[in-house]
Amino acid sequence: MSMSLRIRRSSMKARLAYPYVGWMAIFVVAPIILVIIYAFTTSGGAPTLIAFSTMGSYMSVFVRSFWLSAISTAVCIIIGYPVAFILSREGLRVQRIMIMLIMLPMWMNFLLRTYAWMSILENTGLLNRLLSYIGLPGLRIINTQAAVVIGMVYNFLPFMVLPIYSVIVKIDRSLIEAAQDLGANSNAVFRKLIFPLSLPGVLSGVTMVFVPGVSTFVISQLLGGGKEMLLGDLIELQFLGAAYNPHLGSAISLVMMFIVIAFMYVMNRFGEGEERVMNL
């Protein structure tokens, strides 16, 4: 292939990327720049840090957001890892069916799925009707942190199951057979081989559940009844609520963005470490 032909092909590929670059510039880079400008300026355009100094009064919202997101992530690991592991042991036909069933709720609108949980958890909902039918006392779950966690787990659980499953299913079976030939029982094979090799999938799932959990606002509004305000609710309130303050909302968004980026960086470093161990 001549040098001129290679240059023409390379130039064509670069031109094909222009629409994507333009899209990113308009809908990603420009909004971030606006957030930074609003966060460090007053309504008159003067530079200031007052928006950051007033965030201390909302520290409880930060703590609540990260705490509930951490609980939801832990519950997703507890539920999602066994599901992913069992799924990876099944035949190919069963795996396809189960993956479709896991993905099926995600084909519906996020808001509709959350509304469905309102009808299940409310005081006169399906859950309490069932408990009353079998003679058990009802539960007051709606408008509590427990309801918010349930909503997060339900909506984000597939993001934990699928990464773990995709890693476990790719583990070389010859490694498991070699460990068994050397005398390792099922528990030892799982503890010393399968679980360490599946950690990159776990870390990926943790990132995919924790990050949207911190910034969610629909779940806390509908299932928490507005009583369990999270960061997403606080930011929305600054832009759309009666306490209109886009400068404070931008500052909170910026701080949250840096925290999330730091969290993802740490998770990626752990993931790189696990991959290096796998390659040794």
CB 153 within 8 A of CB 70: no
Angle (CA) 75-81-82 rounded to 5° is 105
Share of the chain above pLDDT 70, in %: 91
Distances (CA, A) of 168 to 11, 84, 103, 133: 40, 8, 18, 42
Q: Residue 147: name the closest of 176, 114, 124, 177 by CA.
A: 114
Share of the chain above pLDDT 90, in %: 44
pLDDT band at 4; cut points 50, 70, 90? low
Query: Residue 109 pLDDT more than 70?
Result: yes
Query: Residue 279 pLDDT more than 60?
Result: no
Residues in the chain: 280
Query: Residue 143 pLDDT more than 80?
Result: yes
Angle (CA) 51-209-77 rounded to 5° is 135
Distances (CA, A) of 48 to 42, 138, 238, 247, 255: 6, 52, 18, 10, 15
For the stretch 196-241, pLDDT in tens is: 899 989 999 999 999 899 988 889 989 998 787 899 899 988 988 7
For the stretch 67-79, pLDDT in tens is: 999 999 999 999 9
Query: Residue 30 pLDDT more than 60?
Result: yes
Q: At what angle do helices 59-89 and 231-240 cross, to 10 degrees?
A: 130
The pLDDT value given to residue 259: 87
Q: Residue 77: name the closest of 67, 66, 69, 89 by CA.
A: 69
pTM for the whole structure: 0.85
Fold adopted by 58-279: MetI-like fold (1.10.3720)
Q: CA dihedral defined by 231, 233, 239, 240, rounded to 10 degrees?
A: 180
User: CA-CA distance, 217 to 239, in Å (whole number)?
Assistant: 13
User: CA-CA distance, 97 to 174, in Å (whole number)?
Assistant: 26
Q: Return the structure tokens found at 117.
A: 């949980």
CB 205 within 8 A of CB 164: yes
The pLDDT value given to residue 185: 86
Task: Give domain limits for the chain.
Answer: 58-279
The pLDDT value given to residue 206: 93
pLDDT band at 37; cut points 50, 70, 90? very high
Q: Return the structure tokens found at 132.
A: 């009353």
Q: Residue 197: name the closest of 221, 213, 182, 179 by CA.
A: 179
Q: How large is the C-alpha radius of gyration of the chain?
A: 24
Give me the chain's average pLDDT, please: 87
Secondary structure class of 47 (helix, strand, coil): strand
Q: What share of the chain is helix, strand, coil (3-state, %, to 5)?
A: 80, 0, 20
The pLDDT value given to residue 145: 93
Q: Return the structure tokens found at 152.
A: 């997060």
93-110 average pLDDT score: 89
